Amino acid sequence: MTFTPSLPRHPAAPAAELVAELGEVLTRSGRPMVAARDIEASTIETSHGWPAGCLQAGDTTVYACQDPAGTGLLVEITTKTTAEAAALTITLDGRTLHPAAPRSA
């Protein structure tokens, strides 16, 4: 004897209807639906032979290493496109360094 659980049966909703319902749920939650970036972290060696951290996310790369001119930390950020640079936000101790002015809507 085989037991088959009884589940409510609903007609299959078209994909567009399901997407619309998902959009409504996200709208009500107050959270925007955005694509998440893949972020890869690794360690590399600088030209001085010192360790450095490297983060890559799309067209942005962040390097962190000891400043070759002293004992401080050097953080270097490079972008491949103007749009990527414009979308970049940099904060230091909770203070926004880039962009210097709020973005217009």
Residue with tokens 């060696």: 45
Tell me whether residue 65 is in a domain.
yes
> What single-letter amino acid sits at 89?
T
Tell me whether residue 81 is in a domain.
yes
Tell me whether residue 25 is in a domain.
no
Q: Which domain holds residue 85?
A: 40-98
Structure confidence at residue 58 (pLDDT): 92
Tell me whether residue 3 is in a domain.
no
Tell me whether residue 23 is in a domain.
no
Tell me whether residue 57 is in a domain.
yes
Number of separate domains in the chain:
1
For each of the chain's 105 residues, which pLDDT tens digit applies? Answer: 444 444 444 556 677 888 888 778 878 887 776 778 899 999 999 988 999 999 999 999 999 999 999 999 999 999 999 999 998 999 999 999 988 666 665
Tell me whether residue 12 is in a domain.
no
Residues 71-93: tens digit of each pLDDT? 999 999 999 999 999 989 999 99
Query: How many Cβ atoms from other residues are within 10 Å of residue 63's Cβ?
Result: 16
Quote the pTM value: 0.63
